[in-house]
Amino acid sequence: MDTPVAALYLISVGALAMCAFQAALLARSSSYTRACWTFAVICMTFALFQFANARQQLAPDLVAAISAHKWVNFFSLMLVPQIWYLIASLDGRAMPFRVTYGVAAVSAWLVAENFGAPFGYRFAQLAVDAPSELPWGERAFVLAGETTRAYTVNRLLSFGAVLYAAIFCVRARRQRARFSNGLVWLSVVLIVVTTSLAPYSDEGTLKLPYLSGFGFLFLAASYLLLVRREATQRMTEKIRISAALEREVASHKLASLRFEYALSNDALTGLPNRAGALDKLRAMFLASESSLTRMAVLLLDLDRLAIINGTRGYEAGNQLLVEVAHRLRSTSGVSGLVARLGSARFVVGIAGHKTWAALEREVEAVLAAVKPPFTVSGTVLNMTFSAGVAIYPDHASSAEDLLASAALALHQARDAGPGNLRVFHPSLQQSLSERIGLENALKEALEQGQFYLHYQPQVRASDERVVCMEALIRWQHPTLGLVMPDKFIPLAEATGAIAAIGSWVIDAACQQLANWREIGFTDVRVAVNLSAQQLLLSDLGDTVQLALQRAGLSGEDLELEITESVLMQDPQRSIERLNALRGLGVRLSIDDFGTGYSSLGYLKLLPVHAFKLDRSFVRDIGKSEKDLEICATAVGLARTLGLEIVAEGVEDAVQAAQLRKLGCHLLQGYYFARPLAAHAATALLMEDRESLRYSSTRESG
């Protein structure tokens, strides 16, 4: 039978199979995975529908045509729930899926009806028994006849699917969704038209085969085009995101390198800091071990830098440090070690020599390089350096110990006065061992509860009533006995233990004040000293706030004392931290006022409540007119700035009277009380309260 239209059906079978394959491939890269897989199944079902149509048209007799027609019915029945499921997948709501499952159940019943009926579920009776002549002259088996109720049910289900698809397209159009394209609309219209022709073919009104498969072929091509475009956009976006991530990773690596550089290098001079110096020293140490050569560590401490900062400003001090770094670098060369360890301390590593004499010559060359005057901001400055030297393998067996040995030698040089040089010798080894032992013990002291607080009162100058208790830390070592703060606080700062110890002091002092409050001492506050490292800790404000909350205190119950020299190390940062603390309501005071070469320009910006006049000025106030004048000047400055002034180190009645006459607000010293244990401080407060009651009784009597 010559039917070119059947050939078109077979061509569409191949095209639809290709569409199914492409839809399956796109399912892996599309965001509509379930919809793409469903669409692939629909394409395959339509391909089989078209193939069954071709078999019907090419059937040699009526029996073969009816057999093929039942398969046409089967695949058309399978398409209805599949189309419902596809649109439900794109829609994403729960209700359409429930409707789909109902449609699938009805379709299953119709399938059973289809294969059980003599002519399939579509026809009750056939009106043809031979191939029909198509409008364009071809002959093919196109069945027609009386339709069944089951067929009407399927038509309603098909109409519902078309209606649901139209509603979804309208909503997608309004929401400007990805599948609101005009091609989809045209495809839907084409399917509606081809599907609506099927009843006329079944009734015999039109001599046409079923054309809905060709309409769907157009939809399949349009859908795959849109999904491919969406997948391409996703891939482009993925490539863009990947490129952005690569840039971000590169930026992060660069930032990490900068951060690592900042951790191991000094920002001012560009030299390695302590961490960077230790890394380089370890490498030099290993090289000296392998080559059996000597190496030396020279520590240089610039004398009187604090005076330069105080008298000429920090900019001049910074320029001086940069010039020192430049001279040391020029002398040591590229391969040598030059680092800045602290405010005014530099380390020079010298390696690769077999003899003492060669090391001595290099040390002398370094000292000669920094000996000439420095010109800073047009001013010639004659500076001196204290220096300490330690040599491997004579003085230490590791890079850390070598640096520590040089530090001990430098300490001895500073004790001898500015401009001195000392070389480490065995007599200092015991001191080094004791220091190491003390550092190890310090790490365990807080956990084992070896710290405790003493309290020294501050009294009002006008009536000598106690208004504040200054908390002073003590360390009771199990074997060394009492270790005073001036011995272990520098170690705590050097080892990084000061943060935990300082937090404990604040918390313990607040708890003690809470105990005093419980027994009626409501007018007393507690004062705590802050170290340099504590002030620069980022979580200091949180530490203070938590301690106050645990003790049930307010900010004004706590006073923090900061040494003047600590504030002047970094005035701008200190002001920021003090402002944050003052925001908590905490009282702030400058300890040892007058010893730190403060700039008055900074002092007026400090958000503090009080100055503590250093005991060195108070000690000779009754003997020296100069000290008396200094005290009077400090009191006048405090008044001008609207601050309280506390005189510490008051040891006799004469000093107390003179300070009271000058206008000091608060007094502190052995004349009133030595630092007391908590129970003794409580007894003192009780005596003070009884004295106040006695005075009040006498006045009222």
Which portions of the chain are predicted below pLDDT 70? 1-3, 5, 26, 29-32, 136-137, 169, 172-198, 200-208, 210-231, 233-234, 255-264, 333-335, 415, 426, 428-433, 564-571, 594-603, 622, 694-701
Instruction: Tell me how crowded residue 43 is: count the other CB atoms within 10 A of its CB.
Output: 27
Residue 239 lies in a domain: no
What is the residue range of 381's domain? 274-437
Alpha helix stretches (DSSP H) within 124-211: 149-174, 182-196, 198-203
On whether residue 445 sits in a domain, the answer given is no
pLDDT at 551: 93
Whether the CB-CB separation of 616 and 634 falls below 8 Å is answered with no
d(CA 210, CA 346): 95
Closest by CA to 442, choosing from 404, 489, 399, 409, is 489
The partner residues of 612 in beta bridges, in order of sequence, read 646
For residue 260, being part of any structural domain is answered with no
In the chain, the amino acid numbered 559 is: E
Rounded to 5°, angle at Cα 308 from 302 and 314: 105
Alpha helices in 265-273 (DSSP H): none
Residue 370 within a domain? yes
How many CA atoms lie within 13 Å of 493's alpha carbon, on the beta-carbon side?
A: 14
Please name the residues in contact with 617: beta carbons below 8 A apart, sequence gap of 6 or more.
594, 627, 630, 631, 634
Same domain, 585 and 473: yes
Residue 428: its pLDDT value, please? 66
Residue 485 belongs to some domain of the structure? yes
Q: Same structural domain for residues 525 and 581?
A: yes
**Residue 473, both tokens:** 């830390």
User: For the chain, how many structural domains are there in total?
Assistant: 3
Q: Return the half-sphere exposure (C-beta side, CA atoms, 13 A cut-off) of residue 547.
A: 28
Residues 194 and 300 in one domain: no
- DSSP letter for each residue of 62-101: HHHHHHHHHHHHHHHHHHHHHHHHHHHHHH--HHHHHHHH
- How confident is the model at residue 670, as a pLDDT? 92
CATH number at residue 524: 3.20.20.450
**Do 476 and 597 share a structural domain?**
yes
Dig out the tokens for 676 from the structure: 């007391």
560 within 8 A of 528, measured Cβ to Cβ: yes
Burial (CB < 10 A; 0-12, 13-18, 19+), residue 479, is exposed
Query: b/e for 442-459, b at 16 or more Cβ within 10 A?
Result: beebbeeebbebbbbbbb
| Whether 400 and 457 share a structural domain | no
* Angle in degrees, 0-180, between the axes of helices 429-445 and 399-415, rounded to the nearest 10: 110
Specify whether 290 is located in the same domain as 383: yes
- Residue identified by tokens 């807080």 is 446
Instruction: State CA 484 to chain mean position distance.
Output: 39
Q: Which of 546, 504, 511 is nearest to 526 (CA)?
A: 511
- Find residue 140's DSSP bridge partners: 132
Look at residues 413, 437, 461 and tell me which one is the last residue of a structural domain.
Answer: 437
pLDDT at 262: 60
Both 485 and 631 in a single domain? yes
**C-alpha distances in Å from residue 395, one per residue of 251, 359, 432:** 45, 14, 11
Instruction: State whether 609 and 658 are in the same domain.
Output: yes
CATH number of the domain residue 314 falls in: 3.30.70.270
Give the C-alpha separation, 372 to 112, whole Å. 110
Is residue 232 assigned to a domain?
A: no
Specify if 242 maps to a domain: no
Position 2 scores a pLDDT of: 52
Are 8 and 150 contained in the same domain?
A: yes
What is the predicted pLDDT for the residue at 1? 45
CB 181 within 8 A of CB 226: yes
Last residue in a domain, options 204, 222, 240 = 222
The contacts found for 101-107 with CB under 8 angstroms, 24 or more apart, are: 103/157, 103/160, 103/161, 106/153, 106/157, 107/77, 107/78, 107/80, 107/81, 107/154, 107/157
Residues 468 and 347 in one domain: no
pLDDT of residue 200: 63
Residues whose CB is less than 8 angstroms from the CB of residue 472 and which lie 6 or more positions away in sequence, other chains included:
453, 454, 455, 456, 485, 529, 675
Element (H, E) at 19: helix 4-27
- Answer with the one of 379, 406, 437 that is the final residue of a domain: 437
d(CA 29, CA 310): 69
353 and 468 both lie in a single domain: no
How many Å apart are CA 556 and CA 591, to the nearest integer? 18
pLDDT tens column, 310-320: 777 888 888 88
Please check whether residue 455 is in contact with residue 675, taking contact to mean a CB–CB distance below 8 angstroms: yes
Q: Which CATH number is 216's domain given?
A: 1.20.1070
Residue of 385, 383, 408, 415 lying closest to 297 (CA atoms) = 408
DSSP 428: G
CA 372-373-378 angle, to 5 degrees, is: 145
In a domain, 443, yes or no: no
One domain for residues 354 and 288: yes
